[in-house]
Structure 1
Amino acid sequence: MSKRIDVKDLDIYYGDFHAVKNVSMTIEPRSVTAFIGPSGCGKSTVLRTLNRMHEVIPGAYVKGEVAIDGTNLYGRGVDPVDVRRQVGMVFQRPNPFPTMTIKENVLAGVRLNSKRISSKAADELTEKALRGANLWNEVKDRLDKPGSGLSGGQQQRLCIARAIAIQPEVILMDEPCSALDPISTLAIEDLINELKDRYTVVIVTHNMQQAARVSDKTGFFNLEATGKPGELVEYDSTQNIFNNPGQQATEDYISGRFG
């Protein structure tokens, strides 16, 4: 399932504001890549370009290329809805649909894409997605209960199950543990390690220990000053970023000298 992502000479704009400049990187399939850096440096903005979510903001656009297995997501005639089907997204705060049951939440993305699905297929897909999110055993006896009744960590895994159900090839996670307690955070981190066997996973995190624990490669983003565009300072194996960074700015951030 998982795909390789090639980002080349990417510049991101919100109207006249140049948010991020000149990002180039290759994200390997079946791996976890972490984006780290201080607030406002553009890491979440870059993440949202990987499935064209940033275009939801009026006036937002990019220059450059984001390709998945050689196909430019910004090429002429490419449908953003198809891109978002291929590249799933999990947000910072768990956001199950409050009026839907657990099962309805899992199937929401499938039904939004107007896919007709039999009752038997819906049951099978629900179980498969919840198992993939390590949630099935906890909720299998209450699938008809509201998703909003789950704990915060369970809600986040329900959102991951919802993302898995549309059968993406890439999963993006924007600070998925920032609203969770340590035990729920550990459950999500364990799940991320399992997901990379099937998907390409990209995660934004402010928690450097988390980046060190879960990722294979890490990109450090920074910005020169307020109002200046963010940029990718260094992109390397996570081991090198944390133990032998090539840039002084990376070492300063990792060691807590700034940020």
Structure 2
Amino acid sequence: MAQRIDVKDVNIYYGDFLAVEGVTMTIDPRSVTAFIGPSGCGKSTFLRTLNRMHEVIPGARVDGSVELEGVDLYGDDVDPVAVRRTVGMVFQRPNPFPTMSIRDNVLAGVKLNNRRISKSDADDLVESSLRGANLWNEVKDRLDRPGSGLSGGQQQRLCIARAIAVKPQVLLMDEPCSALDPISTLAIEDLIQELKKEYTIVIVTHNMQQAARVSDRTAFFNIAGTGKPGRLIEMNDTATIFSSPAEKATEDYVSGRFG
């Protein structure tokens, strides 16, 4: 199920403003890749190019190629909705649909994609998705209650269940633990380790310890100053990035000397 992503010479614009410049990288399947770097360096902007969420912003555009198993996601014949189905996303703050039940939240993506599904298949999908998000045992007796009634950490796992219900190959996570307490954060981190057995996972995080704990590879982004584009400084195995990075700027950032 998991697929490899190859990014080549990607430049990201908001209108005439070049926000991120010249990114080339490979993201391995069945692994966790972390994006780190100071605020404003383009991590989340770049993350959103991996499922064409960036272009929903008026005036935003992307040059270069983002290939999923050799298929350019920005090709003329590629449907962006299909891309977002294949490359799912979990946002910074849990965002279950507040008027929907837990069950309907899980099925929301499937229904939005106009997939017809029988009640028994829907029941199986709800259970398998909630089990995949390590949430089933906590909510199995209240599936018809609103998803907004769950705790913050449970809501975030519900959003992960909603994302995996549509059977993506890639999961993007934009600071998925920033609004959570330490216990909920640990639950999400443990879940990420389980999910990488089946998915390609990319996570943006400001938490250096989290990047060190959950990721296999880490990419460090930086920015030269206000109004300058963000750039990928280096990318390597996480252990190497945190113990012996090639660039001094990376060493300064991971050691807490700036950022």
Which TM-score band applies after superposition, normalised by the shorter structure? over 0.9
Q: Secondary structure at the match of 2:235?
A: strand
Q: Encode CA deviations 1:77-132: one digit per residue, 9 max, x unaligned.
A: 11000000000000000000000000000000000001111000000000000000
Question: What is the CA distance between 1:6 and its match in structure 2?
Answer: 0.2
TM (norm. structure 2) is 1.00
Question: What is the CA distance between 1:255 and its match in structure 2?
Answer: 1.1
| Structure 2 partner of 1:236 | 236
Q: Does 1:170 align with 2:170?
A: yes
| Structure 2 partner of 1:101 | 101
| Structure 2 partner of 1:66 | 66
Q: Secondary structure at the match of 2:129?
A: helix
Tell me, which stretches of 5 or more residues in structure 1 are unaligned?
none
Q: Within 2, Cα distance between the matches of 1:54 and 1:62?
A: 8
Q: Which residues of 2 match residues 131-170 of structure 1 at below 5 A?
A: 131-170=131-170
Q: Within 2, Cα distance between the matches of 1:201 and 1:93?
A: 18
Q: Does 1:192 align with 2:192?
A: yes
Return the letter of the residue paired with 1:136. Answer: W
Question: What is the CA distance between 1:76 and its match in structure 2?
Answer: 1.1
| Structure 2 partner of 1:218 | 218
Question: What is the CA distance between 1:256 and its match in structure 2?
Answer: 1.1
| Structure 2 partner of 1:180 | 180
Number of aligned pairs? 259
Q: Within 2, Cα distance between the matches of 1:138 and 1:11?
A: 43
Return the letter of the residue paired with 1:53. Answer: M
TM (norm. structure 1) is 1.00
Q: Within 2, Cα distance between the matches of 1:58 and 1:77?
A: 21
Q: Does 1:41 align with 2:33?
A: no
Q: Secondary structure at the match of 2:236?
A: strand
| Structure 1 partner of 2:27 | 27
| Structure 1 partner of 2:56 | 56
Return the letter of the residue paired with 1:162. Answer: R
Q: Within 2, Cα distance between the matches of 1:120 and 1:141?
A: 17
Q: Encode CA deviations 1:189-248: one digit per residue, 9 max, x unaligned.
A: 000000000000000000010000000000000000110000000100000000010000
| Structure 1 partner of 2:110 | 110
Q: Secondary structure at the match of 2:81?
A: helix
Question: What is the CA distance between 1:150 and its match in structure 2?
Answer: 0.2
Return the letter of the residue paired with 1:62. Answer: V
Return the letter of the residue paired with 1:66. Answer: V
Return the letter of the residue paired with 1:14. Answer: Y
Tell me, which stretches of 5 or more residues in structure 2 are unaligned?
none
Q: Within 2, Cα distance between the matches of 1:55 and 1:128?
A: 32
Q: Within 2, Cα distance between the matches of 1:212 and 1:125?
A: 33
Q: Within 2, Cα distance between the matches of 1:255 and 1:82?
A: 40
Q: Which residues of 2 match residues 240-259 of structure 1 at below 5 A?
A: 240-259=240-259
Return the letter of the residue paired with 2:227. Answer: G
Q: Encode CA deviations 1:132-187: one digit per residue, 9 max, x unaligned.
A: 00000000000000000000000000000000000000000000000000000000
Question: What is the CA distance between 1:31 and its match in structure 2?
Answer: 0.3
| Structure 1 partner of 2:3 | 3
Q: Within 2, Cα distance between the matches of 1:166 and 1:43?
A: 25
